[in-house]
Amino acid sequence: MKWNKDAWRSLPIKQQPIYSDLDELKKTEIRLSTLPPLVFAGEVRSLKKELASASLGKSFLLQGGDCAESFANYRADNIKNMFKVILQMSAVLTFAGSFPIVKVGRIAGQFAKPRSSDFEEINGVKLPSYRGDIVNDLEFTKEAREPKPEKLIQAYYQSATTLNLLRAFARGGLANLHEINKWNLGFAKAAEIETKFSNLVSEITRALDFMEACGIDPEAQAINETRFYTSHEALLLPYEEALTRIDSTSGDWYDCSAHMLWIGERTRGLNEAHVNFLSGVKNPVGVKVGPTATPDEVLGLCEKLNPENEAGRLNLIVRMGADKIDSNLPKLLKAVKSEGKIVLWSSDPMHGNTFKTTNNYKTRAFDKILKEVKSFFEIHKSEGTYPGGIHLEMSGDDVTECTGGFFNVKEETLAKRYETQCDPRLNANQALELAFLVADLLKEFKK
């Protein structure tokens, strides 16, 4: 059957809001479909090439950002800090781990959230769940929780201005390796990380001086600029469909809301709307793979989403939980390998390790996150496959949402700076600490 961008509408679909004003929704979709694309097909193809190299074991994907972007916390500084931490992590992974890093943010469109329940009940009052700022508001009132179509437009414009800033940061000098000291944030690093990072800065500076002395142009693009791509979960399909356009140079469909899109753990049904929708666009596509995923399901995803077995097209994002990955991942790796499917395997050590504290904070323990990452690398080692990336929920600020790390955030102090709209993120220090650990694990895979 020929794919069309609205074919998903006749298929079973999960995790969609129920809008009361369907005329308003239709008008909004039409309006969105006339607005300019947010990314261009040529950029998407560059990302696909970079991901192809990661899936073949020659580079490594670093994907990170908020669980959910917010309209209220939309500040240049938040974006800048996130960008700087990703640059710092990427310097660590490139230099200490010896791999080129593909940088992809969960940013400029990461607004729609799947929820474990359609309703939330507090003190006997039952309201629709919060589904992200593109759908409704977090506040627990009837008015706030009503899905409003105009929020799609606000999400679009916030994504556009976020992307504008990211492009400026990537090309306008902030990413210049000579300026690595300016990537520091406005708060202290943990002592151990400070020492490791300043050693790395000295080594990089020496390497740059050496290259310059050899006559290599210090203004070279590779040193002065970086490539930074955007991604989000393609959950709210009316938004994605409206931004899906035909690329005039290739005649192919691209979802121009972001460079890369992924399908969540709850919406990856093979014959459902989300898989059908992303099967028809040419962007790199991710799929979250949780502890219950079977080899048949995973092979089915490879078949539907990457029938031509193209490197760089499909990223399987493993999010099983530290205690489940050992028993569930090996059989998936074996099946994919024995069928000769080309896949980029990455690890999301966040979503299988969430729990609620006694005082009702959703959190994740740094040790558990680390344990899942270590197991991910070990399992790949024993299966002879390549652990090609890491997918994180993180902030560029010193929030207190996940426990542990060198600063040892405690359950009792989570309230200090608990700012997430949805799931708990690593703070900048925890993210950098994790990057050093991943760099050590990654080194072993250098051929």
Q: Which residues bind ligand PEP (CB under 6 A)?
A: 67, 114, 233, 264-266, 288, 319, 351, 423
Tokens of 212: 């310059």
Whether 26 and 288 have beta carbons less than 8 Å apart is answered as: no
Cβ at position 106, least distance to ligand PEP in Å: 7
Nearer to ligand PEP, 92 or 318 (CB): 318
Nearer to ligand PEP, 288 or 364 (CB): 288
If contact means CB under 5 to 8 A according to the sort of partner, which of ligand PEP, Co ion, none does residue 398 touch?
none
66 forms part of the interface with Co ion (CB under 5 A) = no
Task: Flag whether 288 is marked binding.
Answer: yes
Nearest-CB residue to ligand PEP? 264
SS3 57: coil
Residues paired with residue 344 on neighbouring β-strands, in sequence order = 315
Nearer to ligand PEP, 114 or 284 (CB): 114
Tokens of 125: 């009052």
Tokens of 447: 């051929």
The residue among 440, 445, 439 whose CA lies nearest residue 89 is: 439
The residue among 217, 201, 244 whose CA lies nearest residue 87 is: 201
Nearer to ligand PEP, 69 or 383 (CB): 69
The residue among 192, 390, 172 whose CA lies nearest residue 182 is: 172
If contact means CB under 5 to 8 A according to the sort of partner, which of Co ion, ligand PEP, none does residue 274 touch?
none
**Quick one: DSSP state of residue 38?**
S
Q: Which of residues 357-376 bind Co ion (CB under 5 A)?
A: none
3-state secondary structure 295-342: HHHHHHHHHHHCCCCCCCCEEEEECCCCCCHHHHHHHHHHHHHHCCCC
Cβ at position 202, least distance to ligand PEP in Å: 36
Cβ at position 233, least distance to ligand PEP in Å: 6
The residue among 423, 384, 424, 379 whose CA lies nearest residue 401 is: 424
Q: How far apart are CA 254 and CA 130, in angstroms?
A: 29
State the binding string over 397-426 for Co ion (x if CB under 5 A, else -).
--------------------------x---
Cβ at position 83, least distance to Co ion in Å: 20
Nearer to ligand PEP, 67 or 260 (CB): 67
Q: Which H or E run contains 222?
A: helix 221-224
Q: Which H or E run contains 125?
A: strand 125-128
The residue among 101, 88, 90 whose CA lies nearest residue 181 is: 88
Q: How far apart are CA 40 and CA 295, in angstroms?
A: 34
Cβ at position 263, least distance to ligand PEP in Å: 8
Cβ at position 390, least distance to ligand PEP in Å: 13
If contact means CB under 5 to 8 A according to the sort of partner, which of Co ion, ligand PEP, none does residue 288 touch?
ligand PEP
If contact means CB under 5 to 8 A according to the sort of partner, which of Co ion, ligand PEP, none does residue 397 touch?
none
Task: Flag whether 324 is marked binding.
Answer: no
Cβ at position 363, least distance to ligand PEP in Å: 15
Task: Flag whether 393 is marked binding.
Answer: yes
Question: In this structure, what are the phi and psi dihedrals at residue 367, rounded to the nearest 5 degrees?
Answer: -60, -40
Nearer to ligand PEP, 50 or 423 (CB): 423
Task: Flag whether 265 is marked binding.
Answer: yes
- Rg (the chain; Cα; Å): 21
Cβ at position 312, least distance to ligand PEP in Å: 21
Cβ at position 225, least distance to ligand PEP in Å: 29
Tokens of 177: 């390796």
Q: How far apart are CA 365 and CA 351, in angstroms?
A: 12
Nearer to Co ion, 69 or 423 (CB): 423
Selected from 32, 67, 237, 261, the binder of Co ion by CB under 5 A is 67
Nearer to ligand PEP, 265 or 397 (CB): 265
Q: How many separate helices (H) and strands (E) can be counted in the chain?
A: 13, 14
Whether 288 and 315 have beta carbons less than 8 Å apart is answered as: no
If contact means CB under 5 to 8 A according to the sort of partner, which of Co ion, ligand PEP, none does residue 114 touch?
ligand PEP
Nearer to ligand PEP, 14 or 334 (CB): 14
Instruction: Kindly list the residues in this chain that would bind Co ion in the complex (CB under 5 A).
Output: 67, 423
Residue list, annotated binding site for phosphoenolpyruvate = 106, 265-266, 288, 319
Residue list, annotated binding site for Mn(2+) = 67, 351, 393, 423
